[in-house]
A and B are shown apart, each in its own frame.
Chain A
Amino acid sequence: MVTATIPSSVNDYVTVVDAASGLEAFLCRFRIQSHLPAEAVKVSTNEYVVGFGRRCTHMGCRLVAETVAGASQPLPMSDGLLRCACHASCFDLLASGLVVMGPATDWLPTLQLTALPDPKSGVITSVRIDGWNSAQSVPYGIPYGGTTAKPLIS
């Protein structure tokens, strides 16, 4: 299991790697007041973290740039919508990664996360990555039906 520092601000993200599959993902922090995605983990009042696969489900382009360890960046999104730079597939990060538009076939896969509160303060600054919610979607890079990733270019 891997633990990861969560983004420090709302609408920020950090990139992470799921150790089991070796696949890239990104953790987003949102302020959500309605339509709470099932995958969201509460980290503060009205604030939640959701983890998504970092590759577009169309042809695997990376959806967000790499972040420096420990430093979160603003999501390149507007109103919760993230668009792939390659073919403009648009994902709704506030609706579990729903494809709003474009050639992507599948919703963005999500991570199973567990909040890790600080034992003393109770403040949540990190989460544990428990794997993919693969019962419903498959992250780009895992051969379908398999469990571990193949490198995109070997």
Chain B
Amino acid sequence: MKSPRLPETLQSPPDAPVSATYKVIPTGCQYCVVGCGYEAHLWPKGTGSDLPPREDQGNWVSPAMTELVNFDGAPYAAAVLPDPKCPTNKGNHSSRGGTQGRDLVYQSASGASEPSAQRDSVIERITTPYVRTQSGGENGFEPITTADATQIVAELVKLATDAQYDAQNKSLWFKRPEGLGVKIYEYQYLENTYAATKLFFQLIGTPNVAYHDRPSVASNTQGFNDSGIDPHGYAYADIWSSDVIFLAGINPYESQSVFFMQQMTGKRLIVLDPRRTITADYAVKTGGLHLQPNVLGADTLVLNALCRYIRDQRNGKDAANWGADRLRQGLIADAKSIDLARNDAQNVDPDKGPDFARRAQFHLSHDEFLGAFLDSQPDLAEAARISGIPLKQLEEAARLLSGPADPMPPASQRKVSLIFEKGLIWGYSYHSTAAFANLGLMLGSVMDPTAADPQRTPDYGVTGRAGGHQKGWVEVRYDFKNALGTTVTGAGYPFYRATDEYVPPSGPRIRTHNYLDAHLVGTALAPRDKRGSGPNDPDINLLWIVGSNAIGQIGNAAAKWQAVAKRRSGSLPASATVQEVVKVLGERIRQGGLVIIQQDIYPNPTTTQADLVLPASGWGEEDFVRYNGERRLRLYGRFQDSPSYLRADGTREMRCQPDWKYFRDVANLLLPKDYKGHGLPAGYSFANASHPLAATDFGWKSSAEVFWELALQSSLNQRLRVLEDPTKPPAGHDLLRVRGSRGWQIPLGKTAGGDITGTDRVRVRSDLWGPLSDKSKYGPYAFIRSDWNDIADAFKANCPRKQKHELAISNGRINELWNSLFTHIRNETVRSRYPDDMPGTILELSSADAKGIGVTSGDIVEVVGEDIYPVGNTASFKGVVIVQPDALPSGVAFAYFSYPASTARSPKFPYRTFTTDSYVNNITTGYVDPINPIAAVKFARGRIVPTGKQFPLQGPRGTLSDRPRHIAFGSVRVSDEKQRATWKLRELIVQKGLPRVRRHENALTEDGTVIADFMLEPDTYIKALARQDAKGQKLRDQLAAAVSWMRWKVNNEVIDNWSADEQASAITWLGKLTDLP
């Protein structure tokens, strides 16, 4: 199959690009954490207008960026284009962002079968609530009205939580809030998550809530956070100005593409990853390193060993060359403070949450870490032996990070930045992320709050994570007093209701966020670690899944979802009336069974277990706010209507609504209008500042009003308050709208003149850590006890067994497939490369393993996991083999994560027969970190069983490529520094798009053509520049003029979109170019 068809309805002639009806609406990419800025260009359908003019970034609009939409009921042509004005992407885009036109929604008002309205992205949208009944005509489902659906949800919530109404006192009390479980996205906009937490945390008080991608609402990076480094505290410009970047458990070329392309290329990269990714290949070919373990989960071991090795070198005879001064002791919490905190932690009220007690357990002083702790950790040779990474490579990595490494700058001046992601996070999470922070502290790659200007780029670089999704989570904040008299301020998650605990070897037990899976299916199938504690029997009777494919994203999934299906078994409603549905499903709840509500924009495999389905509105269908990986807060403007429901009589009705409206409406149904509020457990009371919620507290009429409320109570980490005035109507959305895709980096501030300001860099507010008696000397940073010995047993239990012919089965995401693929399985561009009828996920194998097993690309296999830790069960998943020579070490396979194979199509809801047998996480370990409930879903082991069947790589439904994905450049190898200077300059030109900033063309005048050539053919241009003839001289003269122009621009005005660091670096490198031979 060739690339997807063109939307023919857009083939209108060019010439009148901008008119009064032409709209440009700022938005952001709906996908990864980088959050590139986009603009939605809309012009009335059929008016003969041109495509949007690309004045400053080339002039091509990809077919995949365009489609028809409905906007305020009228048909428009639309193009979603990367915004050159956005500092994040400067007009660049990934394959995800560049194909968002395929995700747009268009319904034909006339009922004509226009191709744009017949796409899967449109016809598979959920447009009405459904309830599963005994004889539902839509594959078991029956459509119902929004009012009925909301009423059913409210009634089921009441039953599951045992809501008690006190008519005399006009109050409400949820006797059993844990009966309601919630699985909800962390990223789909502040307005939705604020409304959700206000309902689930403050009003109902359920502790059984988990994000879409993990089994709790705990931070993904708690071990890292406890060091005092904010994982998203750095600015992207810091990465760009680094000499060395250490990347652990991350493949940014594929998963944070524009971040890699704009900021990381041209640097010396060290990549720690079991798979030879394109990022790793790039690193090796540009003078960096690929540290390639042949086991999964040895990150803590390797990171600790690197710290130990660097410590030893700094204490050795070559100490002067190992950058000992990078580690500033004064920035690390002192022993006295930590001792005081440990003492105080004995008596901390667990209703306040686990942070204080956990930090006291794991914080180490400078001396403790560098002394006894590192002494207790395996050395570099042992780390090499266990991980399979050659010792020489580990030593070379240590040199690049902190030692003599010609021709790098001396270690004492080198800018080294460290970025990690899911390879560590979804492993032995607390320890791995803590070990990464320790290495960052060892290298001094952190902000120095004692510096004269803490907001400038740190001299030694930065440490942080890249992120997977954007940041759309904000919790309601309220204050209460408990039975012990403790006042808890700014509470969000209701720790006072949580039941799960971490049991440390010594000291008091630490209450944690609840581990949702255990509360959903019980500890027989979701056991806690031996250091974890909590109830064994499931206590969730109503699971509300919001914007998440719960089946595809948990560990040891197959066994758990069989248990879910069993808990759901029982009668179905005979009809779809509110009374019948509540009666039958309510009885299931009363009997201890389980009812599932799904709220989403598309059906997914979770729909196979849903009793009730609610249609949501998504990206571009409502004004929403969220921020990206460098905390850039922006409004994602509304530029299209949600799809409407086609009733039997042929008329249409809008039944989709944004998630916050469902939460509002259910809250209003739970709280009768005349009720004064709701109660807390006996002995608890709300403090003055936050009264018990009444129905009037859920009175928002627009997302702007929700934003107004959340901004006014936002935390110090966000400080959105400056966008709103408590005495005035909402203004925040409009302020952000004007700011466009540039936004502001939070936390926000305000100048004396009233101008809103952003913050380039932040760190965790460790001044609030304690000790309780004296907070002044604590931190700002602390080392963390990331003891390999704590997790060595789990590591061994998850390793493949040779005698059983098992491989280590890793997993991850790839460039063009995002999250649960909720849009991408319906996106025509993606489907041209990943055919609909794929029978399983893709399983990459090394040539040696493929040969040993006797399979080749296209073979369909079953991967069987036995003795899945710690349950000991057996499960499997299906895969299509793609042999990737040289990409994987023998003994390690790689599967695409969360790939939802589907079998048959149906014209009726849910439009596909979803299967769940393609998920690699059917066999991933059930290990969940007891310190902070995050699942180790990166790890599995399995035996590969050929089925004897083959999937055609080039079939009628698409072309599945088995070509190597990991080759960064053909035969190019940038090995010496002279080449590197050229290379870095080339990257500069490519990354910054310097010659293509057409708004400066008046300054460029006749040099414009030459510079454009440089952009388009940088290598050819650089080569020509070196020619010792008239042409070479002419090019050099022209470039010198361009450099002068750059200098003039920098000296005379701020270049749009360029930070001061970028400007300075541009001058440096452009200057170097003129010195090339």
Contact = CB atoms under 8 A, between A and B. Distances in A.
B1012 interface: yes
Contact of B10 (A101, A144, A153): A144
Contacts of B79: 144
Contacts, number: 159
Contacts of B278: 88, 101
B725 interface: no
A29 B967 CA distance: 23
B987 to A, nearest CB: 10
B1019 A85 contact: yes
A105 interface: yes
Given A83-B969, A105-B64, A136 B1017 contact: no
Contacts of B990: 61, 86-87
Nearest to B55: A154
Given A96-B2, A100-B961, A78 B60 contact: no
Contacts of B261: 87, 103
A95 B58 contact: no
Given A60-B58, A88-B278, A95-B961, A103 B2 contact: no
Given A140-B60, A143-B61, A145-B11, A152 B1012 contact: yes
B65 interface: yes
B835 to A, nearest CB: 13
Contacts of A141: 59-60
A105 B57 CA distance: 16
A25 interface: no
Nearest to B50: A143
Contacts of A103: 92-95, 98, 257-258, 261, 815
Nearest to B93: A103
Contacts of A153: 996, 998, 1001, 1008-1009, 1012
A64 B990 CA distance: 16
A68 interface: no
Interface in A91-127: 92, 95-96, 98-107
Interface in B963-1021: 963-965, 967-971, 990, 996, 998, 1001, 1008-1009, 1012, 1015-1020
Contact of A136 (B6, B61, B1015, B1018): B6
Contact of B63 (A55, A61, A78, A144): A144
Interface residues of A, number: 50
A78 B970 contact: yes
Interface of B, secondary structure class, is loop
Q: Which of B60, B963, B967, B998 has the most CB of A within 10 A?
A: B60
B64 A99 contact: no
A135 B998 CA distance: 31
B968 to A, nearest CB: 6
A145 B47 CA distance: 13
B59 A106 contact: no
A65 interface: yes
B805 interface: no
A104 B300 CA distance: 36
A86 B994 CA distance: 13
A96 B832 CA distance: 12
B954 to A, nearest CB: 6
A58 B60 CA distance: 9
A60 B599 CA distance: 40
A1 interface: no
B63 A138 contact: yes
A107 B5 CA distance: 11
B954 A105 contact: no
Contacts of B99: 105
A65 B92 CA distance: 23
Interface in B888-929: none
A38 interface: yes
Contact of B959 (A85, A95, A143): A95
Interface in B820-879: 829, 832-833
B59 A150 contact: yes
Contact of A101 (B5, B815, B970, B998): B815
A6 interface: no
A62 B1018 CA distance: 9
A145 B51 contact: yes
A13 to B, nearest CB: 14
B1044 to A, nearest CB: 20
27 contacts: A81-B963, A83-B969, A83-B970, A85-B1018, A88-B282, A88-B969, A90-B963, A90-B967, A98-B833, A100-B961, A100-B964, A102-B815, A103-B92, A105-B62, A105-B99, A106-B62, A136-B5, A137-B3, A141-B59, A144-B51, A144-B79, A145-B10, A146-B50, A146-B51, A152-B58, A152-B1016, A153-B996
Given A55-B60, A61-B990, 13 more contacts: A57-B62, A60-B60, A61-B1015, A61-B1017, A85-B1019, A86-B1016, A87-B92, A95-B961, A100-B963, A102-B95, A107-B3, A145-B10, A153-B998
Across chains A and B, which 6 residue pairs bring their CB atoms closest together, nearest first? A107-B3, A105-B98, A145-B11, A153-B1012, A105-B64, A144-B61
